[in-house]
Structure 1
Amino acid sequence: MHDIDTKMTGRRARWLAGMALGALALSSQAQAETLQGALAKAYENNPTLTAARAGQRANDENVPIQKASGLPSVGASVDYQENLVIPGNSFVAPGRVLSAGSQLSVPIYQGGAVRNAVKAAEYRVEAGQSDLRATEASIFSQVVGAYMDVIRDQAIVQLNQKNVAVLKTNLQASSDRFEIGDLTRTDVAQSQARLALAEGDLRGAEANLIRSRENYVKLVGDAPVDLQPPPALPNLPQSVEDAVAIALNNNPDIEAANQRINASRADIGAARAARMPKLSATLGGGYNNNLHSIPAGNTVAENTTKSAAAGLSLTLPIFQGGRPSAQVRQAQSRSSQAIETYVATERDVIAQTRGAYAAWQANERVIAATEQAVGANALSLEGVRAENSVGTRSILDILNAEQEYLNAQVQLVSAKRNSYVAAFSVLAAMGKAEARDLGIEGGALYDPAVNYRRVRGQIWDWADDPKPQQQATDTRSIPAADASVPAVEPLPQQ
């Protein structure tokens, strides 16, 4: 029995050795998914991202809305009146009247209100475009995390499945040796206890895998099928100083905060315009037709009349109860708020960049150390089993060595996941984690400037867009996730 156990020691060690090093790589299948493919699906179908695009299109409309206040306006009216009772002493009152009129109003000077309001709207469009970039990077970061979570948790389930299989074999061997009096009941009980704990750990790992797969579905809109190892990330910085310098120049949150400062300053100018005179020109005309309802022979009134008038209107505010100065002070305070928000945003970006860079570097070191630990634990397990076969090690020593080997493998796959996600977070903080930077597969990238150029000069009152339609895909038809993984290789035969 000792010889059999010694042979199985080497077989099991060879069978488990290298598992952690290949835990992030899954077998290639016809429906294999890549990280770029997952990002492309999220880019096209994630509802948070498609909603943010719609919100930015709504933001674009503030520019033509503000421009409209400085453009001419034309109105027309038509009235028809039937006089049911005509006073007895009225000899010229018509029985019915049809009247029509029109008026053209042209703003000439509004104290800078329109100019500043348009500038503020344009700055907020630019801020919104930067916000959309930030949303895109945030969604991509979440997708990368979900993608790596599925790979990690699937690897951990596989590791736990193999650990359970090994412990079952250990239990069977311990039971056989107990039958021949080579081991005690305590040894068998220890093997049973460790197997029960391992099965519990497996159930927990399976629950984590299901949760990760469901989170992937939520973000990507499709079930994760045979996720492939992720590619190397581009444009990673050489130092934390480089990362921070790039982030300060390119982070979309900083750009958005800066544009909001500009918008708030334009708001101050728009508020001051309330104290300025306003001048506009008007042109109007009218037409009345009594529809031959004036009594015949009346020479005083005519059945048809026409009119036209043109003029200038000057409004000069003198006293408004302090409203204009309050609005100016309010706009100034909001500008101060925007400035402080910019500083806070800059601080956040610096902290996020440095923290993500530190996490990335730390996990790279963890990977290197854990790879050594995996190899050392594999040799240790083999040695403990060999020593047990000659009576110098107990069953508990074997169980502990197996647990340490499993823990090292789990730590390795977790460190690989953490390192990749942290590195991607560095790119996101640097403003380098958007579709244009990552080579997203599929059609043309969404450009928010296209819609802005389309609508910014639109002055036609009937230029509606098509009826809104759902853009993101729903996930009702996707089956609930399970914890299935590629089949675990059977134990080597004795």
Structure 2
Amino acid sequence: MPLPTSKLACLLLPLALCAAAAAADSSQAAGTLDDQTAHQEPFTLESAINLALERNPDLHIANERIAQAEAAIGESLAAFYPQVKARLGYRYSDNPAEAFGMIVAQRRFTFDQDINHPKGTTDFRPEVEATLSLYRGGQDYQRSKVADLGKEISELELSTVRNNLIHGVSEGFYTLLVAKENQTIAQRAIDAVQAELTETKKRHAAGTVLKSDVLSLEVRLAAAREADIRAKNAIELARTVLRTLLDLPEGRPIEPRIEPERTLPALPSSLDDLETQAQANRPETQIAQRQHETRQLELKIAQGEHLPRVDAYVNYGLNERSPEFSAAHQNVGSGIQVEMDLFSGFATHARVSKAERRLSEAEEQIHKVQLQIRRDVKTAYLELQEALQRAEVAKTAVAAADEALRLVTLQHRAGTATVTRFIESEVARDQAQAGWLTARYDTFRADAALQRALGVWR
């Protein structure tokens, strides 16, 4: 016997809800897993930069400021359009002058009325008024140009934020790589010293080595563990910086990857050409120039307050005793109004003086930015030069340390070199390798700093 439709629906509804909930949970879990997998995979410097450009809140803030500047442009252009207002007024008076005016406006005057003793008179006036600024000392035009420059400045500030963000990601990326390499070398040193310490303790128990050899190895082991602790802390600090720049959740693992065969950057030949390129490309220079132009326009705006202001207006309205409006009582007024400040308590003079000082400040700001850019380029150039030289020296030191460790290892096995000498050679080899890796990554980091100083990104 088939079940009624209502009972069948009651039986199937819980099953359907459970299936839908399970599907939703599976979909959410799959999405979370995919998102975690995407960020847990090792990423290169380029992918880290792209992620930062997509997620960093500073860029979103800069974009919002550009949108604000665009709105300011629209606001400045409103001065060139008619301004239309509507209002509704109500008045009551038994003052002869006011009452007479209201009666005349309502077209109710007759000669048999007692003008000196009017009764209380009411007046309802709905009206629409349009005004148009014909001339305002050039202030409206100058304000529109200031708004245009404000948008350009906001766009240049976005470029500045982008440039600094790329440099920050590069700095954090290479710092993390150096810290991870140092932690690997420190862990390798711990394993080597620990193994040698275990063997030496056995020899000391057998009476073949001195107690001082055991103590020396314990000191070496403590130093290696201390280096491992510093390296682990440096790793977490670098990851924290990158998580902040990339807007990643706390605890999300970050595993940087770089091509082992990546060649070292080349040192540019001419420092003067670099300074010229930086002065032309850096957004800070263009921001300072736009700020100077803005201050010039603001000075003209302040000076325009000495000039007259001319407005045209048209007014259309009705005057009625009660809110029963009739076109028979309509009236229209129009005219041109000229206004000029003769004395404002020296306020206009003070605003002009303030604008002049702000213009002088903008001129000095241009000079300051030029000096800052020159220093940035020179500093980045010298740091890259030093890093390349250190990398060359470190590479030679690695080869010498490897050879020294090989010889000491043979002597130690033959019994002609002490364990302390062997450990010192091994530590020297590890330090040489750490110095080479640090110098190598420092060349990439210095090259990124030079790109930021030049205002370009390759």
Give the TM-score, by structure 2 length.
Answer: 0.79
- Distance in 1 (CA, whole Å) between partners of 2:387 and 2:220 is 30
| Matching of residues 10-409 of structure 1 within 5 Å | 31-79=41-89, 93=121, 98-222=124-248, 223-229=252-258, 237-291=268-322, 305-409=329-433
Query: How many Å apart are 1:150 and its aligned residue?
Result: 1.5
For 1:180, the aligned partner's letter is A
CA contact (8 A) 2:167 2:449 kept: yes
Query: How many Å apart are 1:327 and its aligned residue?
Result: 1.5
For 1:283, the aligned partner's letter is V
Query: How many Å apart are 1:245 and its aligned residue?
Result: 1.5
Q: SS at the partner of 2:329?
A: strand
Q: SS at the partner of 1:32?
A: coil
- Distance in 1 (CA, whole Å) between partners of 2:152 and 2:70 is 9
Q: 1:292 to 1:46 in 2, by over 3 A?
A: closer
CA contact (8 A) 1:370 1:408 kept: yes
Q: Deviations over 1:191-214 (max 9, x none)?
A: 122112211211121111111111
CA contact (8 A) 1:216 1:224 kept: no
CA contact (8 A) 1:217 1:224 kept: no
Q: In the alignment, which residue of structure 2 is the partner of 1:462? A: none
CA contact (8 A) 1:290 1:303 kept: no
Deviation larger for 278-287 or 388-397: 388-397
Q: 1:151 to 1:75 in 2, by over 3 A?
A: same
CA contact (8 A) 2:265 2:443 kept: no
Query: How many Å apart are 1:229 and its aligned residue?
Result: 0.5
Query: How many Å apart are 1:182 and its aligned residue?
Result: 2.7
- Distance in 2 (CA, whole Å) between partners of 1:318 and 1:303 is 42
Query: How many Å apart are 1:292 and its aligned residue?
Result: 8.0
Deviation larger for 268-277 or 240-249: 240-249
Q: 1:236 to 1:276 in 2, by over 3 A?
A: farther
Query: How many Å apart are 1:335 and its aligned residue?
Result: 0.7
- Distance in 2 (CA, whole Å) between partners of 1:168 and 1:98 is 100
CA contact (8 A) 2:264 2:443 kept: no
Q: Deviations over 1:235-256 (max 9, x none)?
A: 9844322221210111110111
Deviation larger for 176-185 or 328-337: 176-185
Query: How many Å apart are 1:288 and its aligned residue?
Result: 3.2
CA contact (8 A) 1:123 1:259 kept: yes
Q: SS at the partner of 2:255?
A: coil
For 2:51, the aligned partner's letter is K
- Distance in 2 (CA, whole Å) between partners of 1:357 and 1:270 is 44
Q: SS at the partner of 2:258?
A: coil
- Distance in 2 (CA, whole Å) between partners of 1:292 and 1:71 is 32
Q: SS at the partner of 1:61?
A: helix
Q: SS at the partner of 2:330?
A: strand
Deviation larger for 190-199 or 100-109: 190-199
Q: 1:235 to 1:326 in 2, by over 3 A?
A: farther
For 2:187, the aligned partner's letter is Q
Deviation larger for 172-181 or 351-360: 172-181
For 1:199, the aligned partner's letter is R
Q: 1:273 to 1:82 in 2, by over 3 A?
A: closer
Q: 1:344 to 1:260 in 2, by over 3 A?
A: same
Q: In the alignment, which residue of structure 2 is the partner of 1:452? A: none
Greater helix fraction, Structure 1 or Structure 2: 2
CA contact (8 A) 2:131 2:313 kept: yes
Gapped regions of structure 1 (runs ≥ 5): 1-28, 295-301, 439-494
Gapped regions of structure 2 (runs ≥ 5): 1-38, 94-98, 100-116
Q: In the alignment, which residue of structure 2 is the partner of 1:475? A: none
Give the superposed CA RMSD.
2.7
Query: How many Å apart are 1:46 and its aligned residue?
Result: 0.5
CA contact (8 A) 2:62 2:154 kept: no
For 1:129, the aligned partner's letter is E
- Distance in 2 (CA, whole Å) between partners of 1:125 and 1:394 is 72
For 2:191, the aligned partner's letter is A
CA contact (8 A) 1:243 1:426 kept: no
For 2:373, the aligned partner's letter is V
Larger Rg, first or second structure (1 or 2):
2
For 1:134, the aligned partner's letter is T
The percentage of aligned residue pairs carrying the same residue is 20
For 2:54, the aligned partner's letter is E
CA contact (8 A) 2:139 2:300 kept: yes
Q: Deviations over 1:292-351 (max 9, x none)?
A: 889xxxxxxx99621110100001222223222221121111111001111010000011
- Distance in 1 (CA, whole Å) between partners of 2:90 and 2:263 is 76
Q: Deviations over 1:281-300 (max 9, x none)?
A: 00001123444889xxxxxx
CA contact (8 A) 1:155 1:413 kept: yes
- Distance in 2 (CA, whole Å) between partners of 1:235 and 1:412 is 17
Q: SS at the partner of 1:427?
A: helix
- Distance in 2 (CA, whole Å) between partners of 1:249 and 1:144 is 23
Q: 1:386 to 1:277 in 2, by over 3 A?
A: same
Give the TM-score, by structure 1 length.
Answer: 0.74
1:418 correspondence with 2:442: yes
- Distance in 1 (CA, whole Å) between partners of 2:266 and 2:296 is 36
